[in-house]
Structure 1
Amino acid sequence: MPFDLTSFLPEGVSATVALMLMVVSFFTSMLTATFSLGGGMLMLAALALVFPPSIVVPVLGAVQLGSNAGRVALQFPHVQWRLVFWLGIGAAVGTVVGGQFVAMLPETIFAMAIGLFIIVTTWLPQPKLDLHGRKTLVVGGAVISALSMLVGAVGPLIAMFFRGLADRRQLVATQAAAMTLQNTFKVIVFIAIGFAFADFVPLVLAMILAGLGGTALGGMLLMRVPDRAFRIGFKIVVTIVGLDLLRGAIFG
């Protein structure tokens, strides 16, 4: 009896589609490892072409959990754990609260609000806020994690707390650690509310392994990109993400 790869895949997903998602995972992980974010939104868009909305967010959370954990492993010495700790406390609360409203509220409203917020905070002068203060990190982590349960990828919002870090390796590593923690909470909550992750485990693992390859390549590119180019690239990627959120909210 010939080997049937599709028996390991979710219903309706062909081997070709699975391979394409693995390729997307590789390149989005490379992008995120180089500029600290942007890959999550691209992965979200790719998954939305294959799965209905009720499946996209939990599967994206599982894939991002593995991809970001791999990024942390490669950049571990540069993680600013104090920032991750306080943001994580808020994330734990926000994820549980957001889980109560999954599929109850129109995500287009949140997508539009987040898109506008990302663009404004990227290009307008930054207000004098203590983004590294305990209260700010806890509250910010809670609000952003609650939104994450509805719209999936909120990496650009998490990134604003780390924008002041001078070392780009610290920015990428700390962002990855925060997203690992947030996505861990997200997966736990989706399991608690009954999402059947078992059907997607082989596909998720394959995408995570492909993403680790992209992370390794992006990690090598990170310090080869000039600092000015890195900062400009960071802003461009964030802006594209914000504009794509607005496009999706307006045009569907």
Structure 2
Amino acid sequence: MIDLLPPDLAQAAAIALLLTSFAGSFITAAFGIGGGVAFLGACAILLPPAAIIPVHGVVQLGSNAIRALMFLRYVIWAALPAFVIGSVAGVAIGGSVVVSLPGWLVQSVVGLFILWVVFSKPPKWLSRWPLITGLLSSFLTMFFGATGPFVAGYVKTLQLDRHKHVALQAAMMTVQHGLKVAMFGLLGFAFAEWALLISGLIASGAFGTWVGKQVLGKMSDHGFHRILNVILVLLALRLIWGGVGAFF
């Protein structure tokens, strides 16, 4: 097995990533958000720095595409065209920026945005602007990796039931990660040597999504949104704490 792994990646690290991919996909399918950030954290610890965002992007592309297919009949298609246009622009701008935004600033702003969405009543215009959501989140994802909480903040303003929330979030993140992976390919990242591990991570995530879907089906909309709010707040506080810590 070790010979089949990418250079500088131990077998124990690969197993840990497989387990985290399963757990992350389960969390996102069952509760709407959180799995991508958890998996990014594992990638940051276990992968070489240059591979963290590209590998995370491919795995999340596969996981979200599978989730979107599983929840296909619940997708709100009207929100996607504008989001796609914004995402194309955001990835293009992000890919052309030579000096990345300060990590502490990105984390802090996203964290504050999430808290604002959870604890206040966001203006109605926010729910009508998927293009802006696509542009900003796709720009940030080129530097930050996991902007699912940012997109979830927009989806939350639509006040969907639990199945539609998970479905639309998955469809939007599939678009975003697909564009990001394409950009990293154009920028020269060698995905081939990671192909086998990535396939295993996507398969593990698919199983996690299936299990999470079963849990979601047994949950009420009220219970889903309560758990979603708790997860969003915890993610926001973690982002702000990390941003403040990095600044000082």
Query: TM-score by structure 2 length?
Result: 0.94
Alpha-carbon RMSD: 1.5
The one-character-per-residue Cα deviations of 1:57-116 (angstroms, maximum 9, x if unpaired) are 111111100000110111111111111221111101101111122653322211111112
Cα distance, 1:231 vs. partner? 0.8
Query: 2:225 aligns to what?
Result: 231
- Asked if the contact 2:161/2:221 (under 8 Å) is kept, the reply is no
1:1-252, aligned counterparts within 5 Å? 5-101=1-97, 104-131=100-127, 133=128, 136-163=129-156, 164-252=158-246
Q: Which amino acid aligns with 1:159?
A: A
Q: Please state which structure has a larger fraction of its residues in helix.
A: 2
Q: Which amino acid aligns with 2:145?
A: G
Q: Which amino acid aligns with 2:221?
A: D
Q: Which runs of 5+ in 1 are unaligned?
A: none
Q: Secondary structure at the match of 1:49?
A: helix
Q: Which amino acid aligns with 1:94?
A: G
Q: Which amino acid aligns with 1:241?
A: L
The one-character-per-residue Cα deviations of 1:22-76 (angstroms, maximum 9, x if unpaired) are 0010011000001111111111111110124432111111110000011011111
Q: Secondary structure at the match of 1:250?
A: helix
Q: Which runs of 5+ in 2 are unaligned?
A: none
- Asked if the contact 2:116/2:122 (under 8 Å) is kept, the reply is no
- Asked if the contact 1:35/1:222 (under 8 Å) is kept, the reply is yes
Range with bigger deviation, 80-89 or 179-188? 80-89
CA distance in structure 1 between the partners assigned to 2:211 and 2:190 by the alignment: 32
CA distance in structure 1 between the partners assigned to 2:242 and 2:40 by the alignment: 12
Q: Which amino acid aligns with 1:203?
A: L
Q: Which amino acid aligns with 1:8?
A: L
Q: Which amino acid aligns with 2:160?
A: A
Range with bigger deviation, 195-204 or 63-72? 195-204
What percent identity do the matched residue pairs reach? 34
Number of equivalences: 245
Go from structure 1 to structure 2 and tell me whether the alpha carbon gap of 1:102 and 1:9 turns closer, same or farther (over 3 Å shift).
farther
Go from structure 1 to structure 2 and tell me whether the alpha carbon gap of 1:161 and 1:116 turns closer, same or farther (over 3 Å shift).
closer
CA distance in structure 2 between the partners assigned to 1:47 and 1:103 by the alignment: 22
CA distance in structure 1 between the partners assigned to 2:82 and 2:124 by the alignment: 20
Cα distance, 1:227 vs. partner? 2.2
The one-character-per-residue Cα deviations of 1:208-228 (angstroms, maximum 9, x if unpaired) are 100000000011111212222
CA distance in structure 2 between the partners assigned to 1:102 and 1:183 by the alignment: 20
Cα distance, 1:121 vs. partner? 1.7
